[in-house]
Amino acid sequence: MEGQKKRLAVLVGCNYPNTGNELHGCINDVLAMKETLVKRFGFDDNDIEVLTDAPNSCKLPTGANIKQALAKLVDGSEAGDVLYFHYSGHGTRIPSKKHGHHFHHEEAIVPCDFNLITDLDFRQLVNRLAKGASLTILSDSCHSGGLIDKEKEQVGPSSSLQKGPISKTTNTLTHKTIPYDSILHHLSSQTKATTTDIGTHMLELFGSDASLRFQTVSHALLEALGPDEGILLSGCQADETSADMNPGAGGGKAYGAFSNAVEMVLREKEGGLSNREVVVRARKVLQGQGFEQHPCLYCSDENADATFLCQPQKTEQ
């Protein structure tokens, strides 16, 4: 239809199979979200790119492949486009060199090849959006709060929090984090450099595909430009971990706690939900299930109360 704007998505699930960092529910998370995007939010199956590290995957979720998919998503954007990125996998924190940084760390996601994608990379992506297009990021990973650098907190650490009870689930819970020291050890084992500077190892291994965090770039490219159309729904606060649940021998599918909570929230209410409502309701779901992670929302004031993924209104037949 002439004038109809695009609804495009990139979905990434990393289970890190046959490694010491193996997770179980991340691929299930993004496949479930793909179905939801098509059935509820009007996305076309052909406009959703899925990257997983499942056996026989045609395109692995390496750092370069993820950034290439996101660049295609953003650089082709036009006013009114609804863009969505869902990530389920490990996250980490990098010691910050920025004076006065709140947590003294910067947030990153961990692609299957450990080519970290950082909060600065997501900031630059948002800065490249066409005026009037929106980019919603849902990151079901540890330390995901603040994953878009300098995005305004709407629901986060300064919000009133009530801790839920300790989880009594019999399922196997894995925290979706790889400690910084483990990442540094993994990278340094593959390079000839003897330094403890992670940037040196990243640049030697990945070159121009390494995060902007480790390259010399203009600071102007990485500054927030005022209220923007970046929207981050994070599975937890920057100093918290997110859970990967594996029912194991008990049967049932493995899942990420936050991704599953969002799916539950969307099933419970048919009509449109604001970004704020999705996060607040997901918090309540997780609290009721006994999890001690607190989803957060980072975006402009206007987008906090905008409808999640601009859910199309149903037309009367």
- Per-residue HEC secondary structure of 147-197 comes to CCCCCCEEECCCCCCCCCCCCCCCCEEEECECCHHHHHHHHHCCCCCCCCC
Strands 172-175 and 243-246: antiparallel
Catalytic residue among 142, 236, 296, 299: 142
CA gap 193, 48 in Å, rounded: 39
The structure tokens listed for 3 are 């004038």
Active site residue 90: yes
CA gap 76, 236 in Å, rounded: 30
Active site residue 142: yes
Catalytic residue among 86, 90, 201, 294: 90
For residue 2, the one-letter residue type is E
Tell me the longest C-alpha to C-alpha distance in the chain.
67
Tell whether the torsion through CA atoms of 50, 240, 118 and 276 is positive or negative: positive
- Residues tagged active-site: 90, 142
